[in-house]
Amino acid sequence: MDRKELVLKKLANISDEEMEIAIKQLTHHVNARLRINSINDRTKSGAHSEPILGVDPVMYYVNESLKRIYDPNGWDWKFEERTLTEQLCRIANKLISDQVKRYKKRKESDPEFISADVSEVWDLSDPSVPQDEHLENGEMSDKVKELAFKLSEDNENLFFFTELYFEDKSHKEIAEELGISINDVYVLQKKLVRRLMKHKEDLQ
């Protein structure tokens, strides 16, 4: 029996109650690392924000940590030295650190990389009108919509995303309609934003 088989056997012997406690403690740890609900909440923007990760940040790191410890090619749980919770927290720490590095590298290599929501370009055609006013009144610039459809017609998924987005469908609904993940929906959203931002002058 190799090391990973030994680890998987050890994991299989963990009771449901022990696993529940470990997940609860891991969740608490991730909340603390991301400073959830504090003045310095790291999920409000940047590397750990939902638009970047595609799902709830805490859920993402908890699920990914669990996935890595069960993955045959994943982390080695040194159960002789650490509890399950300690190992999961170590994995979460590494994932959080790696995500920051990826985010910074992507920003440096792609100056057009942005995490903006499509709503940020709703009113590009009329800068004199505050965005909040558009949001409150449910207004949508016809020029923005027209341009969005034009810029997405070469990509079937992007075109359908655009169509559903402007029908005020939620990200969950769009994912279900297109048969893709929430993360893929955010990828399409960011792609549309980038294309629109490249053609801002067409909206003036």
Domain end, chosen from 91, 109, 127, is at 109
Confidence of residue 28 (pLDDT cuts 50, 70, 90): very high
More confident call, 181 vs 139: 181
Contact 34, 48 (CB under 8 A): yes
Identify whether residues 20 and 83 lie together within a single domain.
yes
Identify whether residues 104 and 158 lie together within a single domain.
no
pTM of the model: 0.56
Mean residue pLDDT of the chain comes to: 80
Contact 96, 44 (CB under 8 A): no
C-alpha dihedral (56, 75, 32, 62), degrees to nearest 10? 30
Domain that holds residue 192: 118-203
Domain end, chosen from 109, 126, 157, is at 109
Identify whether residues 7 and 95 lie together within a single domain.
yes
Identify whether residues 95 and 34 lie together within a single domain.
yes
SS3 115: coil
State the pLDDT at residue 51: 83
What is the helix (H) or strand (E) element at residue 195, kind and residue range?
Answer: helix 182-198
Mean pLDDT, residues 78-99 taken together: 93
Find, among 200, 191, 127, 101, the residue nearest to 154 by Cα. Answer: 191
* Total tally of structural domains belonging to the chain: 2
Identify whether residues 25 and 64 lie together within a single domain.
yes
Identify whether residues 72 and 156 lie together within a single domain.
no
Mean pLDDT, residues 13-40 taken together: 93
Identify whether residues 146 and 105 lie together within a single domain.
no
Identify whether residues 191 and 122 lie together within a single domain.
yes
Mean pLDDT, residues 30-50 taken together: 89
Mean pLDDT, residues 1-19 taken together: 88
Identify whether residues 155 and 82 lie together within a single domain.
no
Identify whether residues 123 and 148 lie together within a single domain.
yes
d(CA 42, CA 50): 11
Least confident of 87-101, 134-148, 160-174: 134-148
Which amino acid is it at 186? Y
Summarize pLDDT for 42-52 with one digit per residue, the tens. Answer: 998 888 988 88
Tokens of 55: 């799902």
**Torsion sign (Cα): 41, 47, 51, 57:** negative
Backbone phi, psi, residue 7, to 5°: -65, -45
What residues contact 75, with CB distance under 8 A and at least 6 apart? 68, 69, 87, 91
User: Cβ–Cβ contacts within 10 Å for residue 100, how many?
Assistant: 14
Identify whether residues 159 and 84 lie together within a single domain.
no
d(CA 154, CA 162): 12
SS3 80: coil
Summarize pLDDT for 96-147 with one digit per residue, the tens. Answer: 999 988 887 876 665 444 444 555 544 444 444 344 444 333 344 677 788 8
Domain end, chosen from 78, 109, 140, is at 109
Identify whether residues 131 and 163 lie together within a single domain.
yes
Contact 156, 179 (CB under 8 A): no
Tokens of 87: 């190992």
